[in-house]
Amino acid sequence: MKVPLLDLKPQYAQIKDQVIPEIMDIIENQAFILGPKVSKLEAKMAEYIGTSYTIGCSSGTDALLLALMAIDVGSGDEVITTPYTFFATAGSIHRVGARPVFVDIDPASYLIDVKKIEAAITPKTKAIMPVHLFGQCVDMGPLMEVARKHNLKVIEDAAQAIGARYKGKNAGQLGDIGCFSFFPSKNLGCFGDGGLISTNRKELYDRIMGLRVHGGIVQYHHQEVGLNARIDALQAAVVAVKLPHLAGWTEGRRRNAALYNELFKNNPKVVRPVELADRYHIFNQYVIRVDKRDELKNYLTEKEIGCSIYYPLSMHQQKCFAYLNYKPGDFIESEKAANSTIALPIYPELSKEQIEFVAQTVNEFTSR
Ligand SMILES: *Cc1c(COP(=O)(O)O)cnc(C)c1O
């Protein structure tokens, strides 16, 4: 039985009849840049996330960049984040000229260990960038307390966490600014690159709206130097069509995760993902921890089961960050996770039989 890590075709089949007329409408009108499709999406997303404002932008990475620029992070500043994340988190901090300062993760949830943040704060620290990794929110209560105490801004990297909740509140409404990605493999994906920013703060909204269009809301008049970081009208239309389906798709992922959890329950060699207290996990990824991870990857590949490693190298060990002068062992939990975790297929349209086959194959491997 072939089980891909992700197959977007069955999802497309569900929305095809709605999305094609939307795309044709844009093509017929030849109206590709901003306009009503983008504003309509921004209004719907603000309602969905529960913030006063959202701003569509060109990718999750550009959302992070715009957010950092909007709070004036730059040369000489430090931003605290996790070393166990997709590259864009640390990359965007470097890109604005600031220094990423890593804080190790909690080994059970793989999320930044909030208890260790305060010790990493220096007079140069300007912001904290927590990542709601794999679809589960960081412990934002204590994190916001530390941030407020030290007068730091908080940018949530919610690229993997659209619809995830912490104490009943959505990812993207927990910090000062939330950053989302519509990359096709995220839970709410478009037909290419796209992203979104959420905030409750009018002054940040106004600033980011300008930064998105070269720093000038009035065309050809520039308050500051921004980016060209708009979301395409085509991508906005795709996301708007998909949004009403998101809750159902998330439930499908949670159902699949619960089934895996049940099937791995009696296998002590598989460490299952945890859903922490007060959280609603949206399972952008279902990640287990095993010994002989690389062998398991080969075994699954042989059996035509898709799997992937998120992420094989901790950020402090990336060549491009050698200048930060971290050394092996500095973030031991992040390093261990990078060496022992593997993601299994979790997308909502998987059948029960496919999940059972994946779990059975993993169990077979660990009992050899
Ligand atoms: C996907 C992702 C991003 C970047 O989003 P893009 O749309 O691919 O630029 C940033 N952070 C995390 C944690 C991500 O998973």
Domains of the chain (ranges, CATH numbers): 9-244 (3.40.640.10), 245-366 (3.90.1150.10)
Q: Express each pLDDT in 251-260 by its tens digit.
A: 999 999 999 9
Q: Express each pLDDT in 285-310 by its tens digit.
A: 999 999 999 999 999 999 999 999 99
List b or e across 325-351, with b for residues whose CB sees 16 or more CB atoms inside 10 angstroms.
ebeeebbebbbebbebbbbbbbbbbbe
In which band, very low, low, confident or very high, does the pLDDT at 101 lie, cut at 50, 70 and 90? very high
> Across residues 33-47, what is the average pLDDT?
98
**How high is the pLDDT of residue 222?**
95
**How high is the pLDDT of residue 349?**
98
In which band, very low, low, confident or very high, does the pLDDT at 103 lie, cut at 50, 70 and 90? very high
Give residue ranges with CB within 6 A of ligand 1: 59-61, 85-86, 88-89, 131, 157, 159-160, 181, 183, 193, 195
Helix axes 202-211, 60-70, angle to 10 degrees: 120
Strand partners, 129: 81
**How high is the pLDDT of residue 302?**
98
**How high is the pLDDT of residue 234?**
98
Q: Tell how far the Cα of 26 is from the centroid of ligand 1, in angstroms.
A: 27
> Across residues 40-64, what is the average pLDDT?
98
The mean pLDDT value of the chain amounts to: 98
Q: Tell how far the Cα of 202 is from the centroid of ligand 1, in angstroms.
A: 25
Q: Tell how far the Cα of 360 is from the centroid of ligand 1, in angstroms.
A: 31
> Across residues 342-356, what is the average pLDDT?
98
Q: Tell how far the Cα of 38 is from the centroid of ligand 1, in angstroms.
A: 20
Question: Looking at the chain, how many residues does it have?
Answer: 368
Give percent of the chain above pLDDT 70.
100
In which band, very low, low, confident or very high, does the pLDDT at 359 lie, cut at 50, 70 and 90? very high
Q: Is 75 helix (H, G, I), strand (E, B) or coil?
A: coil
Pocket test for ligand 1, best of 66, 86, 197, 231 (most atoms within 8 A of CB): 86
Pocket test for ligand 1, best of 181, 185, 285, 287 (most atoms within 8 A of CB): 181
Give percent of the chain above pLDDT 90.
99
**Do residues 337 and 323 touch, judged by C-beta distance below 8 A?**
no
> Across residues 27-53, what is the average pLDDT?
98
Distance in angstroms (rounded) separating the CA atoms of residues 237 and 234: 5
Q: Tell how far the Cα of 135 is from the centroid of ligand 1, in angstroms.
A: 12
In which band, very low, low, confident or very high, does the pLDDT at 264 lie, cut at 50, 70 and 90? very high
**How high is the pLDDT of residue 307?**
98
Cα 63 from chain centre? 11
Q: Express each pLDDT in 164-221 by its tens digit.
A: 999 999 999 999 999 999 999 999 999 999 999 999 999 999 999 999 999 998 989 9
